[in-house]
């Protein structure tokens, strides 16, 4: 499904909106489902509402940060800089994201 949606998204929409929609909605939603499935397999009674509530502040901070960067770079009219910055942000966030998820899984495994 990703192989169909992602190219269409990036071809038919603004790069920033495509990035926000893919990572902010599509990837986040799928990742939440994977985490919920994992937690339920460990016999924890968790729901999507619980997950949303627990992650709301972090999600809000991320969206506000992206909005700030978008508005800052949009004010200077430099889309190439924005694209470069988004790839840097992805690279910088990927490793901590993987470490946090791995830590979460190992923490839940011990319970």
pLDDT band at 111 (very low <50, low <70, confident <90, very high): low
Q: Report the predicted TM-score, pTM, of the whole model to 2 decimal places.
A: 0.61
pLDDT in tens, 57-106: 888 887 788 788 778 777 677 777 777 777 787 777 777 778 877 887 77
CA–CA dist 58, 36 (Å, integer): 17
Could you give the CA distance from residue 105 to residue 12 in angstroms, rounded to a whole number? 37
**27 or 73: which leads in pLDDT:** 27
């Amino acid at each position: 499904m990703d192989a169909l949606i992602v190219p269409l998204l990036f071809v038919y929409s603004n790069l920033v909106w495509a990035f926000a929609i893919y990572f902010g909605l599509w990837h986040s939603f799928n990742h939440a489902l994977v985490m919920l499935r994992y937690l339920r397999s460990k016999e924890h009674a968790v729901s999507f509402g619980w997950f949303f509530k627990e992650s709301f502040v972090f999600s809000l901070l991320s969206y506000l940060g992206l909005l700030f960067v978008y508005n800052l770079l949009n004010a200077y009219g430099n889309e190439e800089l924005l694209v470069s910055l988004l790839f840097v942000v992805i690279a910088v966030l990927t490793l901590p994201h993987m470490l946090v998820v791995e830590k979460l899984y190992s923490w839940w495994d011990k319970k």
